[in-house]
Amino acid sequence: GQQLNQSPQSMFIQEGEDVSMNCTSSSIFNTWLWYKQEPGEGPVLLIALYKAGELTSNGRLTAQFGITRKDSFLNISASIPSDVGIYFCAGQLPNNNDMRFGAGTRLTVKP
Amino acid sequence: DAGVTQSPTHLIKTRGQQVTLRCSPKSGHDTVSWYQQALGQGPQFIFQYYEEEERQRGNFPDRFSGHQFPNYSSELNVNALLLGDSALYLCASSTDLGETQYFGPGTRLLVL
């Protein structure tokens, strides 16, 4: 199956620092998505990317869809304590109904 | 505008039992997907329902079955529960093929 490799597994950063995480795949995806999940809740969509090379921002979050369509990164600028959570990348195949998820990046922000 | 809702929030069952989980999609959505999320892992696709039929299925055994009702709500049934079925079960809804999916809060199932 199409596996997504997400890194790093976890990050411990100081409030105010920038964060970068990425996902790679051996397969091509039509859509890349980034979700955040907090304890006891379902994943919440942060950013959706639909075109190769696309760079999209949502407040302090910026994500890019790699040119090869096999990778994506998510950057968070000036982190704050409420950024704590697990961030998942997900890829969706063309005309396919399931999404493949990475294993997640656990972010801890120290005040 | 109500988002995706799921019930129950938590459930405890014993091995061999059967369980039914329920999901109501976000208003305006007609497609429901189910995912299993084991502790410390990303969600894994179980299946998707559209127009009351299973449209696609992931790598899960036949013990996992589902149903979609005319109002687009959905049920996930798991028979002959195993300890390894303990997980967070997530429902996600969308408008059509390939559209972005929105997740509910999940049902946490513990099998003892």
Per-residue pLDDT of chain A (111 residues; tens, 9 = 90+): 457 999 999 999 999 999 999 999 988 888 999 999 998 889 999 999 999 999 999 999 999 999 999 999 999 999 999 999 999 999 987 766 678 999 999 999 998
Please tell me the predicted confidence (pLDDT) of residue A96: 66
> Taken in order B70, B53, B38, B111, is the CA torsion positive or negative?
positive
Q: Which two tokens stand for residue B45?
A: 């696709």
Give residue-wise pLDDT tens across range B21-51: 999 999 999 999 999 999 989 999 999 999 9
Do B106 and A98 make contact, defined as CB atoms within 8 angstroms?
Answer: no
The angle at the Cα of B11, spanning B7 to B14, to the nearest 5 degrees, equals 145
Please tell me the predicted confidence (pLDDT) of residue A39: 87
Chain B residues whose beta carbon lies within 8 Å of the beta carbon of residue A48: 100
Number of helices and strands in chain B (H, E): 0, 11
What lies within 8 Å, CB to CB, of A100 at 6+ separation is: A1, A2, A3, A4, A25, A29, A90, A91, A92, A93, B45
Chain A residues whose beta carbon lies within 8 Å of the beta carbon of residue B48: 97-98
Could you list the mean pLDDT of each consecutive 10-residue stretch along chain B, which spans 112 residues?
90 98 95 94 93 92 97 97 97 81 95 98
Please tell me the predicted confidence (pLDDT) of residue A3: 76
Please tell me the predicted confidence (pLDDT) of residue B100: 82
Do B90 and A42 make contact, defined as CB atoms within 8 angstroms?
Answer: yes
d(CA A4, CA A72): 10
